[in-house]
Amino acid sequence: MSDLEGFRRETRAWLEANCPPSRRRLRDGEVAPAWGTKELDEEVERWKKLICDKGWSAPSWPREYAGGGLSNEESRVLAQEMARLGCVPPVGGFGMYLLGPVLLEFGNDDQKRRFLPDIVHGRVNWCQGYSEPGAGSDLAGLQVRAELDGDEYVINGQKIWTTSAHLADWIFCLVRTDFDAAKHDGISFILFDMKSPGVSVSPIQLISGASDFCQVFFDDVRAKAENLVGDKNGGWTIAKRLLQHERSGLSGMMGGGASGSKRAKGGKRRVPAFRGMADAAEPYLGRDEHGRLADSHLRDEIVQLEMDGICFGLTMKRSGEAAKAGQGPGHSVSMAKYFASESNKRRQELMVSIMGNRSLGWEGEGFSRAELDQTRAWLRSKGNSIEGGTSEIQLNVIAKRVLGLPD
Ligand SMILES: Cc1cc2nc3c(=O)[nH]c(=O)nc-3n(C[C@H](O)[C@H](O)[C@H](O)COP(=O)(O)OP(=O)(O)OC[C@H]3O[C@@H](n4cnc5c(N)ncnc54)[C@H](O)[C@@H]3O)c2cc1C
């Protein structure tokens, strides 16, 4: 037996023995446990501690920073085994997926030792201070000012659309440290505590009543100079790298991880994923005498979309393997981000066409849970082509950085 097969066997046994049912994704017909009970909270915490202590929340990060120290192949095996059992990753968020990778690449040893273990253990929630009222797509035009005073920077200005800032402990923030240099050359990347005096957070009320986004104001906030990552005025390189990780992650979440097939109910046979959408459409469209969805136009659109999804899933799988083999995400990740955002919007629009006014419910007993979820999924998909850089900006990146077209 090869080392890798041995590792797989041990990993499978460990996950089966330790991952509680409440931390596994529901399978067909299963009912979610009631959340918020003391027993369940304790069970989740116990599992989180067990897996984080092994470093398996960040399997490929070095052991000296509390990661798992696994090789790329071992990390892939762990991911496969977790997916097989439906284990939900124990830790996620901006720290794990965005800040951690850039700290590993650009942070100094002291910064890695101070910040990475808390990310691995999910002890600190991070938020992303990039966008400003006048600097979204034109991110390099940002105006939040940081001036050195002794061994601290004094920060003034405003960020906006900062997801979950009201829940965050720390922020990674783009600030301008040189107002005379060309706009890309005067930016720094700095970390500070959201409880610092002078930080105020104002959640933005959305039409849905939720408030995931915030405006964040800095009024003479003092951040330690030792928490500036990379070189002073060298933050744009880090900012772009982090966006590549963000775009790669968003693409995966919007369907890049789809393998194009799923396990059939109660059996081992695997069925193409488009059966999933066809099944969802059946109650609304009905079937013709051949057993096909009755509306030939919508049937055609479902197949087209799902074929695209399968191709995209395979492309993402290939590029994920290339990334794990040591080549991090590059500019080409903009193609994935663009495709995933636009096709998820198409998918959600198609569900609205299929379901008609059944997909427009907001609350109340006249709609099923799945129908109410569908309304929210449709509305949420509109943000896909804005977050992490709009679709137009992805097209600009592809034109300039991938195809090499002139500015
Ligand atoms: C769900 C979600 C979560 C977000 N979370 C965060 C977060 O945590 N932290 C954070 O900092 N930001 C966050 N954002 C903000 C996001 O990064 C910005 O909204 C985005 O970069 C666009 O900037 P803007 O809103 O200022 O739009 P603008 O830049 O004003 O753009 C307006 C329109 O003009 C177009 N446009 C602008 N410039 C060009 C150009 N050069 N070529 C072609 N078209 C152009 C855009 O494509 C867009 O359609 C989030 C946004 C969303 C939707």
Report the Cα–Cα distance between both ends of the chain, in Å, rounded.
55
Measured distance CA(34)–CA(25) in Å, rounded: 14
For position 268, what pLDDT does the model report?
A: 38
Residues 296-329: pLDDT tens digits?
999 999 999 988 888 888 887 777 776 666 666 7
Report the half-sphere exposure of 142 (CA within 13 A, side-chain side). 33
Distance 390 CA to ligand 1 centre (A): 5
The long-range contacts involving 181-185, CB below 8 angstroms and separated by at least 24 positions, are 181/233, 183/140, 183/141, 184/140, 184/236, 185/233, 185/236
Measured distance CA(264)–CA(316) in Å, rounded: 23
* Closest residue CA from atom 45 of ligand 1: 392
Mutation test residue for ligand 1: of 161, 342, 382, the one with most atoms within 8 Å of CB: 161
For position 64, what pLDDT does the model report?
A: 97
Instruction: Tell me the three-class secondary structure of 307-362, residue by residue.
Output: HHHHHHHHHHHHHHHHHHCCCCCCCCHHHHHHHHHHHHHHHHHHHHHHHHHHHCCC
Token output for 288: 């013709």
Active site residue 246: yes
CB 173 within 8 A of CB 229: no
Residue 407 pLDDT > 90, yes or no? no
pTM value? Answer: 0.89
For position 262, what pLDDT does the model report?
A: 43
Decide whether any atom of ligand 1 lies within 6 Å of the 211 Cβ: no
Decide whether any atom of ligand 1 lies within 6 Å of the 130 Cβ: yes
Instruction: Kindly state the DSSP code that residue 243 receives in the 8-state scheme.
Output: H
For residue 404, how far is the Cα from the chain centroid?
28
Residue 375 pLDDT > 50, yes or no? yes
Q: How confident is the model over 157-185, as a mean pLDDT?
A: 97
Mutation test residue for ligand 1: of 128, 131, 194, the one with most atoms within 8 Å of CB: 131
| Positive or negative torsion for Cα 347, 240, 214, 396 | negative
Decide whether any atom of ligand 1 lies within 6 Å of the 172 Cβ: no
User: pLDDT exceeding 70 applies to what percent of the chain?
Assistant: 90
Structural domain boundaries in the chain: 3-92, 126-233, 244-402
CATH of 244-402, one of 1.10.3720.10, 3.40.50.1820, 1.20.140.10, 3.40.50.450: 1.20.140.10
Listed range (29-33, 64-68, 387-391) with the worst mean pLDDT: 29-33
Taking alpha carbons only, the member of 198, 203, 156 closest to residue 175 is 156
Architecture of domain 126-233: Beta Barrel (2.40)
CB 162 within 8 A of CB 174: no
Decide whether any atom of ligand 1 lies within 6 Å of the 75 Cβ: no
Taking alpha carbons only, the member of 354, 371, 359 closest to residue 295 is 354
Taking alpha carbons only, the member of 325, 172, 316 closest to residue 242 is 172
Residue 274 pLDDT > 60, yes or no? no
CB 285 within 8 A of CB 279: no
Decide whether any atom of ligand 1 lies within 6 Å of the 383 Cβ: yes
* Closest residue CA from atom 35 of ligand 1: 392
Residue 263 pLDDT > 60, yes or no? no
Residue of 74, 132, 246, 301 marked active site:
246
Backbone angles phi, psi at 356, to 5 degrees: 60, -140
Q: How confident is the model over 100-108, as a mean pLDDT?
A: 98
Decide whether any atom of ligand 1 lies within 6 Å of the 140 Cβ: no
Taking alpha carbons only, the member of 356, 348, 345 closest to residue 373 is 348
Distance 391 CA to ligand 1 centre (A): 9
Considering the chain, what is the average pLDDT of its residues?
A: 89
Mutation test residue for ligand 1: of 94, 99, 125, 137, the one with most atoms within 8 Å of CB: 137
Atom of ligand 1 nearest to the CA of 130: 11
For position 26, what pLDDT does the model report?
A: 67
CB 199 within 8 A of CB 154: no
Where is 190: in which H helix or E strand?
A: strand 187-193
For position 17, what pLDDT does the model report?
A: 95
Region of residue 122 (left: phi > 0; alpha: psi -120 to 50; beta: else)? left
For position 140, what pLDDT does the model report?
A: 97
Decide whether any atom of ligand 1 lies within 6 Å of the 392 Cβ: yes
Residue 34 pLDDT > 90, yes or no? no
Decide whether any atom of ligand 1 lies within 6 Å of the 390 Cβ: yes
* Closest residue CA from atom 25 of ligand 1: 136
